[in-house]
Amino acid sequence: MKSIRVCSAALLALMLSLTVAACGSSSSSNTSTKVGAVPAEQSLTGKTGGNLTVVASSDVDYIDPGAAYYQFTFMVTTATQRALYSFGPDDAVNAVPDLATQAPDVSSDGKTVTVKIKSNVKFSPPVNRAATSADVKYAIERAFLPTVANGYAGAYFGDIIGVKEFQDGKATEISGIDTPNSTTIVFNLNRGTGGVVAGALALPISAPVPKEYAAKFDAKNPSTYGVNQVATGPYMIEADSKGALTGYEPGKKINLVRNPNWDRATDFRKAYLDTINIEEGNDDTTVASRQILSGNGQVNGDFGPPPPVLKQIVNTTPDQLALTPSGGLRYVSLNTTLAPFNNLNVRKAVLAVFDREAMRATRGGPLLGPIANHFIPPAMGGFDEAGGLTGTGVDFLKYPKGNLALAKEYMKKGGFPSGMYTGSQQLLMVGTSGGAAQKSSEVAAAQLEKLGFKPKLRLVTQDSMYTKFCNVPKAKVVICPNVGWLKDFADPQTILDPTFNGKNIVDVNNSNWPQLNVASVNSAMDSAEVVVGASARNKAWAAIDRQITAQAPAIPWIWDDTANIRSTNVAGVINKFNSNWDLSFTSLK
Amino acid sequence: MSTGVPRLVEPSSGLTAADPLEFGTIAGRTPWQLFWRNFKKDRVAIAGLIFIVLLVIAAITAPLITKLIGATPPNLINTDALDSFGTPTGPSSEHLFGVDPLGRDVLSRTLYGARVSLEVALISTALATFIGVVLGLVAGFFRGWVDSGISRLMDVLLAFPALLLALGLAAACSLGDGCAVSTPLQAAGLATIIVGLLGAALSFARGRREMVGASLVVVGFGLFFLLIGSFFTIKIEPGAGVVIFVITLVSWTYIARIVRGQVLSLREKEFVEASRSLGASDARIVFKEILPNLIVPIIVYATLILPTNILLEAALSFLGAGVQPPNASWGAMIAEATSVFDTAWWYMLVPGLALLFTVLAFNVVGDGLSDALNPRQEGS
Amino acid sequence: MIRYILRRLLWVVFLLFAVSFITFVIFYLLPSADPAALRAGRQPNPALVASIRHQLGLDQPWYVQYGRYMKNLIFHFDFGFSYQNGVPVRQLIFSRLPASISLAAGAAFLWLVVGIGVGIIAAVRPRTKLDRASMGLALVGISAPVYWLGLVALYLFSSDIGLIPILPGANSYVPLSEDPFSWFTSLIMPWCVLAVSFAAFYSRLLRGNLTEVLNEDYIRTARAKGLSERRVVFRHGLRSAITPIVTIFGLDLGILLGGAILTETVFNIPGIGRLSYSSIVRSDLPVIQGTVLLGAFFIVFANLFVDIFYAFLDPRVRYE
């Protein structure tokens, strides 16, 4: 600990970029002793009682747990809903049975997934009764209703038999979900993707929803179940006696209180806190961060401290900082269908010239995570198999600060004998305006200019960047500098499949930004989708990661760590899967 | 802003105002010479004028100056100039005013930012003045339904919260290749022609001959818009173009209202009556009698809205709707400084002071101008 | 008089219609983001996006959408739902209105007092050092951008980062109903910053008008009659000099009630200004419509009140 601290102080005193590289590499190869890193095993004991304030800049995406998809929203749903499987604080890879009693049983052909659930988990008032398998079935069915419109149900549960008929309105239930008795639920799939389904059951979509109570809300358009929801977890959103939420003011606050029907004996959670207030609308993250650091009983919700505040924390009170891998990465995507990036060697040249450390500096420097050298992030299955921190071994990703000479070699191979781009067209590059994202896109543009490219950088709002430009193949954007991906659950398929599988290129909301469509990669993914068993899946997808990296479709530049901060009197516990504070284990000192 | 309405100089009938208190030779001075004499007396205004001239020179020769003092170019990103946390470093021998969060030199960016502020403000003020004068003239001179129509149009425009309208248009025009104005222009032109023809027909039927002429002028405008829209593809690109467009849109009404008021009162004056009784056509009256008397208030009010437009451009840049990066703009620099200003105070101070002094200079000159043109005003 | 008011009211209604229509057209024709795609999440299929589009009514022709919106608005006072999170727009707007009103009202009071006070003082002592100093300061006041002043104020006085930490900084706004004392202290800096440019402008305007009026013949007569200077200035001089101030005050207040975007951004006050800015950024049409209409409503009604006030004072205006 001490040597790293001296190193950081020296950095600040000397402000020499040389030591940045030295310290950067030492901290990235030794994450467990880095300043502010979350220990491998956190202390999970605490004092009961008290109120925690979660300071957030914006709202949850959906208050309805069946539609929720943001990491920040998961912070709330993991405290109020008991999905079939959940992640404890310290293990981001292996989910533990939550509503379920044991690990899911996946048949060897991958077409059947059987889960047994507990019989003594009760809903909060006004429903009050114990949850059954029928409630889990309804939870998954309603995710496919147009009034709920869950964004990932189709991707992970779309292979269940009978989903199409249900969505078309020809059936009133999904025939492929069986509930032979009140504590057993069976998923019958028409493809062998049972391994993926088993992993996806760790998302809040599988938390039980009582049909007799919720159906009337789901009939409205959009569904109003969200503001009338019931809970199975240790906490619930404050509600009146009829179940209508009184503790939710959109964009302003969410108040969590204890769920009176929660039985501590049935749960791995501790639930020390009595109440939790989520305060939203704190746009100015610098001010909000300072408030948390100097205040009482506060933690951050959906933002990290900006670099100047980060610097202050590291120098004065590093124990208020908790850095944990986000489970994702950031990259700059190159459109492989448009010239000049339809040429593999030109792409390799761009990857070779990119100063990825400069990109990382825009987010706060080496403290925020290691330079990414392939696509599966750390603390995920398949990471080590794909080469770990050092990468897959390709030369064009060997130099974090970029290597102009190597880049020029690749340009020559790509048909530009001078080593520089000689074309006349301006390349459309669309980034997000404002904040660190704008800085990253400006740095990215500067990297391209080193090889003679002429990027036409357009900065628009983030929503616009996604829905009108980068996610729309027709918009013909050549470079998207502000993209990245976060895992959905602890399976490497969730990182690589939506983003690099040729069959996932769609007209609207496309996440395969490079529009990579390589037959060998696609078929490898098709095979890997139906592999059963964690270690086999990790190996298969790691091999695919190497294949993708060799295609150079994007410049991975950081496997970022999420920076979380707390007030001094908060005994904070981080949920490493969700990379934010775990409300069911955090307590006050 | 000036404190009163400037009075008119006497009509261009060849008379000059002699200064009767001057001993010795009674030299006849033109109104312009008088004005300059009064203006010179105001030392603060002269100081402001000198500042503006220097600023314009600095803006034009920005590349030269940057090279001379050896500052790094304004758009050169240099993350090595940041510390290990990616936060900017302060004033040093290499960077006189420090660097911004991307390691770019603040001094050169401030110099180049002057270009943006001046260019946008000058062009949009000129355009707004032109449009305002034309529409105000037409409304005030022809009166009748033409006046009502234009006034109502201004009412609708003024009902919008200005900053919101500007923001909304800027956001909307930042898509794709910007806003294609050609089709709306054609549509507007067609609508204007139809309205004009209707008006002409109605006026003719009701026997109001003078309104027929007015209606035909309106038809002429409509035709003009239609032709422009048909032959030119006008796209308002994101960046300076959008800002100029929205600033012009929200500030022309100010000039139009003033000009309309002036024209309304001028119409009734004796010299106009005299001209008319001599058989002068409308066009002649407008161009020879009315317009010359408008020059003074037009200049004064244009100089009054110029500083407001500079501030408006900066506000739009501050909110992210201004010129596109990497080009520097003072407002955008202040916006970037918001997250680091407690440690990187230089980044907030320098562009802010630049803005303050520029707007102050224009305000002071504007004050001096209107005071010099109103010798009866008391005090400074 | 009644006829005049009725005529103006009719025009006001038409204006609001025009504003809502133009806003709709601008953001419908040139939307900067696709709300259906936004709500559909990260990995939707085209069927999902299409069903969301249908659910939001976005697949209807524009006049149907506009007609539906206006019908809901007029008959049910329903402003629709935010595309972002489905919250009723009316609830969003009304929950943020108190903050904007707090900011506008407090600043208005401050700038009236300071502006008029300084204007009077400068006018009755023309060309003294006091006059020159105050007018000089006023010049600086109208030249400084309000957001920059806010940042400087925070840098100097904010309790968490300022050089002289005496006032609560940004993001410290608390509603009046929750804690009156904190509400008041958190608004002191924003009030002062917002009031500066207005106070400066008003003081210059009043000084100019008052100086002119005080040189009129009837003032000389009053003085000659032996009236005290105080009476002369306040009862006779101020009366005529104050009318343009009243007009402008009404208009300024009208604009400000619709949300002071820049001040709210710098001090992180959860008002209408910030709401309208974030809704424009997110292309959230129902919220944009709601906030623009609200802003226009305040502006137009402020204009109306000022006009009626003038018609009351000057009967000739009613027949225009």
Q: Are the folds of A3-25+40-274+564-588 and A328-559 the same?
A: no
Q: In this complex, do C208 and B161 lie within 8 Å of one another by their Cβ atoms? A: no
Mean pLDDT calculated for residue range A329-350: 94
- Dihedral-angle region of residue B144 (phi above 0 means left; psi in -120 to 50 means alpha; beta otherwise): left
Closest Cβ opposite residue C170 in set A146, A284, A511 = A284
Q: For residues A278 and A250, give the distance between their C-alpha atoms in angstroms, rounded to a whole number.
A: 11
Report which secondary-structure segment, H or E, holds C71: helix C62-76
User: Which positions in chain C touch B363 (Cβ < 8 Å)?
Assistant: 139, 142-143
Whether the Cβ atoms of residue B315 and residue C147 lie closer than 8 Å to each other: yes
pLDDT of C89 > 80? The answer is: yes
User: Which positions in chain A touch B325 (Cβ < 8 Å)?
Assistant: 433, 438, 442, 457, 459
Query: For an interface test with B, which of A433, A447, A463 has the most B Cβ atoms less than 10 Å from its Cβ?
Result: A433
Whether the Cβ atoms of residue C59 and residue C36 lie closer than 8 Å to each other: no
Percent of chain A with pLDDT over 90: 67
Residues 6+ apart with CB under 8 A from B256: B131, B132, B133, B135, B136, B139, B150, B154
Closest-CA distance of chain A to residue B87, Å: 6
Residues 6+ apart with CB under 8 A from C25: C62
For the stretch C256-307, pLDDT in tens is 888 789 999 888 888 999 898 888 877 788 888 899 999 999 999 888 888 8
Phi, psi of A39 (to 5 degrees): -65, 160
For the stretch A100-158, pLDDT in tens is 999 999 998 989 999 999 999 999 999 999 999 999 999 999 999 888 888 888 889 99
Question: Using CA atoms in the order A375, A378, A379, A382, what is the torsion angle rounded to 10 degrees?
Answer: 40
Q: What is the CATH number of domain A3-25+40-274+564-588?
A: 3.40.190.10
Q: In this complex, do B378 and C215 lie within 8 Å of one another by their Cβ atoms? A: yes
Q: For residues A286 and B336, give the distance between their C-alpha atoms in angstroms, rounded to a whole number.
A: 13
| Tokens describing residue A57 | 């800049």
Closest-CA distance of chain B to residue A382, Å: 30
Q: For residues C97 and C298, give the distance between their C-alpha atoms in angstroms, rounded to a whole number.
A: 12
> Does residue C8 sit at the B interface (CB-CB below 8 Å)?
no
pLDDT, residue A13, reads: 36
Mean pLDDT calculated for residue range C78-86: 78
Closest Cβ opposite residue B173 in set C30, C139, C208 = C30
User: Which positions in chain A touch C171 (Cβ < 8 Å)?
Assistant: 282, 284, 287-288, 291
User: Which positions in chain A touch B82 (Cβ < 8 Å)?
Assistant: 361, 365
Q: In this complex, do A361 and B325 lie within 8 Å of one another by their Cβ atoms? A: no
* Mean pLDDT taken over chain A: 88
Percent of chain B with pLDDT over 90: 12
Closest Cβ opposite residue B175 in set A17, A446, A468 = A468
Q: Which domains does chain C have, with CATH numbers?
A: 96-313 (1.10.3720.10)
Closest Cβ opposite residue A284 in set C34, C95, C171 = C171
pLDDT, residue B29, reads: 65
Using CB atoms within 10 Å of the CB of residue B4, give its burial: 0 to 12 exposed, 13 to 18 middle, 19+ buried.
Answer: middle
* Long-range CB contact pairs, A497-505, < 8 A, 24+: A497/A525, A497/A529, A498/A155, A498/C42, A498/C43, A499/A375, A500/A375, A500/A525, A500/A548, A500/A553, A501/A525, A504/C43, A505/A473
The residue ranking higher by pLDDT, A218 or A282, is A218
Mean pLDDT calculated for residue range A80-87: 95
Question: Using CA atoms in the order A371, A372, A378, A381, what is the torsion angle rounded to 10 degrees?
Answer: -170
Q: Please give the residue of chain C at the shortest CA–CA distance from A471.
A: C37
When mean pLDDT is compared across A468-482, B304-318, C9-23, C35-49, the lowest value belongs to: C35-49
> Does residue B352 sit at the C interface (CB-CB below 8 Å)?
yes
Q: In this complex, do B79 and A363 lie within 8 Å of one another by their Cβ atoms? A: no
Query: For an interface test with C, which of A145, A224, A287 has the most C Cβ atoms less than 10 Å from its Cβ?
Result: A287
Q: In this complex, do B155 and C15 lie within 8 Å of one another by their Cβ atoms? A: yes
For the stretch C15-67, pLDDT in tens is 998 998 888 888 776 666 777 777 666 666 677 777 778 877 777 887 888 88
Query: For an interface test with C, which of B160, B308, B334 has the most C Cβ atoms less than 10 Å from its Cβ?
Result: B160
When mean pLDDT is compared across A574-578, B26-30, B338-342, the lowest value belongs to: B26-30
Q: Please give the residue of chain B at the shortest CA–CA distance from C293.
A: B160
For A108, other C-beta atoms within 10 Å of its C-beta total 10
For the stretch A399-426, pLDDT in tens is 999 999 999 999 999 999 998 998 888 8
Question: Using CA atoms in the order B215, B221, B223, B224, what is the torsion angle rounded to 10 degrees?
Answer: 170
Mean pLDDT calculated for residue range B371-379: 59
For the stretch A296-335, pLDDT in tens is 999 999 998 888 888 889 888 999 999 999 999 999 999 9
User: Which positions in chain C touch B338 (Cβ < 8 Å)?
Assistant: 151, 266
Mean pLDDT calculated for residue range B178-192: 79
Helices (H) and strands (E) in chain C, counts: 15, 0
Closest-CA distance of chain B to residue C52, Å: 23
Percent of chain A with pLDDT over 70: 94
Q: In this complex, do A358 and B77 lie within 8 Å of one another by their Cβ atoms? A: yes
| Tokens describing residue A435 | 């904040």
Q: Report the relative pairing of strands A554-558 and A328-334 from DSSP bridges.
A: antiparallel
Query: For an interface test with A, which of C42, C90, C279 has the most A Cβ atoms less than 10 Å from its Cβ?
Result: C42
Closest-CA distance of chain C to residue A509, Å: 6
pLDDT, residue A348, reads: 95
pLDDT, residue B6, reads: 38
Q: In this complex, do B378 and C212 lie within 8 Å of one another by their Cβ atoms? A: yes
**Confidence band of A31 (pLDDT split at 50, 70, 90):** very low
**Confidence band of B100 (pLDDT split at 50, 70, 90):** confident
For the stretch C170-223, pLDDT in tens is 777 888 888 888 889 889 999 999 999 899 999 988 888 888 888 888 778 888
pLDDT, residue C320, reads: 53
The residue ranges of every structural domain in chain A are 3-25+40-274+564-588, 328-559
Residues 287-346 of chain A whose Cβ lies under 8 A from any Cβ of chain B:
306-308, 310-311, 314
> Does residue B171 sit at the A interface (CB-CB below 8 Å)?
yes
Query: For an interface test with C, which of B312, B342, B346 has the most C Cβ atoms less than 10 Å from its Cβ?
Result: B342
Q: In this complex, do B325 and A307 lie within 8 Å of one another by their Cβ atoms? A: no
pLDDT of B180 > 50? The answer is: yes
SS3 label, residue A256 = strand
Q: For residues A353 and A350, give the distance between their C-alpha atoms in angstroms, rounded to a whole number.
A: 5
User: Which positions in chain A touch B238 (Cβ < 8 Å)?
Assistant: 458
Using CB atoms within 10 Å of the CB of residue A344, give its burial: 0 to 12 exposed, 13 to 18 middle, 19+ buried.
Answer: middle
pLDDT, residue B379, reads: 41
What are the DSSP E strand ranges found in A64-215? 85-86, 96-97, 105-106, 112-116, 177-181, 184-188
* Mean pLDDT taken over chain B: 79
Q: In this complex, do B325 and A459 lie within 8 Å of one another by their Cβ atoms? A: yes
When mean pLDDT is compared across B169-178, B224-233, C67-76, the lowest value belongs to: B169-178
Residues 155-214 of chain C whose Cβ lies under 8 A from any Cβ of chain B:
155, 161, 201, 204-205, 207-209, 211-212
The residue ranking higher by pLDDT, C250 or A550, is A550
* Long-range CB contact pairs, A210-219, < 8 A, 24+: A210/A123, A210/A127, A210/A129, A210/A131, A210/A135, A210/A138, A211/A134, A211/A135, A211/A138, A213/A126, A213/A127, A213/A243, A214/A138, A214/A142, A218/A142, A218/A145, A218/A147, A218/A148, A219/A147
Closest-CA distance of chain C to residue A234, Å: 26
How far, in Å, are A203, B2, C107, C205 from residue B45 at the CA level? Answer: 69, 13, 31, 19
Mean pLDDT calculated for residue range A62-76: 91
Per the DSSP assignment, residues forming a β-bridge with A556 are A331
- Dihedral-angle region of residue C71 (phi above 0 means left; psi in -120 to 50 means alpha; beta otherwise): alpha
Q: In this complex, do A149 and C48 lie within 8 Å of one another by their Cβ atoms? A: yes
Q: For residues C176 and C204, give the distance between their C-alpha atoms in angstroms, rounded to a whole number.
A: 33
Mean pLDDT calculated for residue range B325-352: 84
Closest Cβ opposite residue B348 in set C18, C142, C151 = C151
> Does residue A118 sit at the B interface (CB-CB below 8 Å)?
no
The residue ranking higher by pLDDT, B265 or B123, is B123
User: Which positions in chain B touch C140 (Cβ < 8 Å)?
Assistant: 356, 360
Phi, psi of A256 (to 5 degrees): -105, 135
User: Which positions in chain C touch B254 (Cβ < 8 Å)?
Assistant: none
Q: For residues A566 and B220, give the distance between their C-alpha atoms in angstroms, rounded to a whole number.
A: 69
pLDDT of A437 > 70? The answer is: yes
pLDDT, residue A263, reads: 93
Q: For residues A207 and A189, give the distance between their C-alpha atoms in angstroms, rounded to a whole number.
A: 20
Closest-CA distance of chain A to residue B359, Å: 26
Mean pLDDT calculated for residue range A485-494: 91
Residue C28: half-sphere exposure toward Cβ, Cα within 13 Å: 19
Q: Please give the residue of chain C at the shortest CA–CA distance from A280.
A: C270
For the stretch B32-55, pLDDT in tens is 777 777 777 788 888 899 999 999
Q: For residues B134 and A149, give the distance between their C-alpha atoms in angstroms, rounded to a whole number.
A: 55
Closest-CA distance of chain B to residue A298, Å: 21
For the stretch A238-248, pLDDT in tens is 999 999 999 99
Per the DSSP assignment, residues forming a β-bridge with A322 are A564
Subunits touching B (CB < 8 Å, at least 3 pairs)? A, C
User: Which positions in chain B touch A12 (Cβ < 8 Å)?
Assistant: 83-84
Q: In this complex, do B324 and A458 lie within 8 Å of one another by their Cβ atoms? A: yes
Whether the Cβ atoms of residue A557 and residue A372 lie closer than 8 Å to each other: yes
Q: In this complex, do C292 and B172 lie within 8 Å of one another by their Cβ atoms? A: no
Question: Using CA atoms in the order A199, A201, A202, A207, what is the torsion angle rounded to 10 degrees?
Answer: 180
Amino acid at C79: F
Range from A48-62, A75-89, A209-223, B314-328 that averages highest in pLDDT: A75-89
pLDDT of A450 > 50? The answer is: yes
Kindly indicate whether the domain formed by A328-559 is annotated with CATH number 3.10.105.10.
Answer: yes
For C257, other C-beta atoms within 10 Å of its C-beta total 25
Q: Please give the residue of chain A at the shortest CA–CA distance from C173.
A: A282
